[in-house]
C-alpha cells in the first residue's frame, strides 16, 4: 500500500495550488490526481466512511517508487475533526499550511466566489451577512463554504488543533508573502521538509502568476480594509505568538 506522507492542508486562496504544481513537478514527489476536485477525504463524512483502503487505492495506487507522496485539500485547515481523523489514521503525516494576510485572503476569496458565479452581494454586504450565511449553508456548500471570508482568516484558532495533536516537526507553516517574494527559497524549504532533493525542477515556472482571480479594477474600499484590520488585529497577534513570527505588518492601517 502506497501511504501518503504529507498533505497541503490550507489555507484557501493563499497559494496552495502553486504548491501542488510545484510538488507535482518534482521527480521524487507523487501528488494525488486529479488536482481538482480535491480529495477532501478526511473532511467529507461520506468519503471518510469508505475507509483508508479506498483512500489509498483511489488516490495513490500509482505512487510507487516516490520518496514523498501527497495530496492537497485546502479546507482541512478549517476542521478540528479533520485534525483528529488524520492523527488517528496517519499519525506520522507531515502537514503543510500556507498563510496569507487575512484581509487580502478574504478579498481574494470573495473575488473567487464572485468569478465562479457563487457570490451576488457586494464585499461589504457579504461580510455583514457572513455569520448568518455560515449558519445556513445549503448541502452543496457544506464543505466548500464559499462565503466564509473572515472566519477562514482566524489562523491561530484553526491551527491550534493541529499543534495540539502533531509535533511541530511534522508541521510546516509557509507564508504567501514569501511565495511571492522568494519562491525558489520557499521551494527549497518545502522540499527539505518533505525529505526530497532540494534541487529545483527545471520544468516549473517560478514566475507564474499566483491567485489569478484579482483583476486591476478589483480594489477594496479603504474603509472596508480598515474594518477588517480591526477584525483581525488580535487574531493576528495570537498567530504571531503561536508561531513566534513577527506579523505586525498584517495589522497596518490602509
- What pLDDT, on the 0 to 100 scale, is given for residue 216? 72
- What pLDDT, on the 0 to 100 scale, is given for residue 211? 66
Query: What CATH number should be reported for the domain holding residue 222?
Result: 3.40.50.300
Residue with cell string 489509498: 56
Q: Is 103 exposed, middle or buried (0-12, 13-18, 19+ CB in 10 A)?
A: buried
- What pLDDT, on the 0 to 100 scale, is given for residue 150? 98
Instruction: Give the DSSP H or E segment for 11.
Output: none
Contacts of 62 (CB under 8 A, 6+ apart): 2, 30
Q: Which three cell numbers stand for residue 16?
A: 496552495
- What pLDDT, on the 0 to 100 scale, is given for residue 253? 73
- What pLDDT, on the 0 to 100 scale, is given for residue 125? 98
pTM: 0.95
Residue 166: is its pLDDT beyond 80? yes
Is residue 212 very low, low, confident or very high in pLDDT (cuts 50, 70, 90)?
A: low
- What pLDDT, on the 0 to 100 scale, is given for residue 1? 65
pLDDT per residue as tens digits for the range 73-112: 999 999 999 999 999 999 999 999 999 999 999 999 999 9
Q: Distance between CA 246 and CA 241 in Å, rounded?
A: 8
Domain range enclosing 197: 6-251
* Number of domains composing the chain: 1
Considering the domain boundaries, does residue 1 fall inside one? no
Contacts of 172 (CB under 8 A, 6+ apart): 94, 95, 96, 97, 189, 190, 193
Q: Distance between CA 192 and CA 33 in Å, rounded?
A: 23
Considering the domain boundaries, does residue 75 fall inside one? yes
Considering the domain boundaries, does residue 220 fall inside one? yes
pLDDT per residue as tens digits for the range 110-142: 999 999 999 999 999 999 999 999 999 988 888
CA dihedral (154, 23, 213, 157) in degrees, to 10, reads: 0
Amino acid at each position: 500500500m502506497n501511504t501518503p506522507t504529507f498533505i497541503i492542508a490550507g489555507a484557501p486562496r493563499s497559494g496552495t495550488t502553486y504548491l501542488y504544481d510545484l510538488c507535482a513537478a518534482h521527480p521524487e514527489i507523487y501528488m494525488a490526481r486529479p488536482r481538482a476536485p480535491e480529495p477532501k477525504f478526511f473532511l467529507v463524512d461520506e468519503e471518510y466512511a469508505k475507509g483508508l483502503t479506498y483512500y489509498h487505492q483511489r488516490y495513490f495506487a500509482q505512487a510507487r517508487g516516490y520518496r514523498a507522496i501527497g495530496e492537497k485539500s485546502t479546507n482541512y485547515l478549517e476542521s478540528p475533526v479533520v485534525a483528529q481523523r488524520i492523527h488517528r489514521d496517519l499519525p506520522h503525516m507531515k502537514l503543510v499550511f500556507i498563510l496569507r494576510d487575512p484581509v487580502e485572503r478574504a478579498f481574494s476569496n470573495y473575488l473567487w466566489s464572485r468569478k465562479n458565479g457563487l457570490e451576488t452581494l457586494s464585499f461589504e454586504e457579504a461580510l455583514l451577512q457572513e455569520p448568518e450565511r455560515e449558519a445556513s449553508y445549503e448541502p452543496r456548500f457544506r464543505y466548500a463554504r464559499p462565503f466564509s471570508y473572515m472566519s477562514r482568516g482566524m489562523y491561530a484558532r484553526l491551527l491550534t488543533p493541529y499543534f495540539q495533536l502533531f509535533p511541530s516537526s511534522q508541521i510546516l507553516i509557509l507564508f504567501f508573502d514569501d511565495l511571492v517574494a522568494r519562491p525558489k527559497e520557499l521551494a527549497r524549504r518545502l522540499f527539505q521538509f518533505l525529505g526530497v532533493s532540494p534541487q529545483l525542477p527545471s520544468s516549473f515556472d517560478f514566475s507564474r502568476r499566483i491567485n489569478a482571480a484579482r483583476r486591476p479594477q478589483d480594489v477594496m474600499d479603504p474603509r472596508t480594509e480598515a474594518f477588517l484590520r480591526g477584525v483581525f488585529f488580535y487574531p493576528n497577534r495570537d498567530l504571531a505568538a503561536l508561531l513566534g513570527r513577527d506579523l505586525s505588518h498584517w495589522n497596518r492601517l490602509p
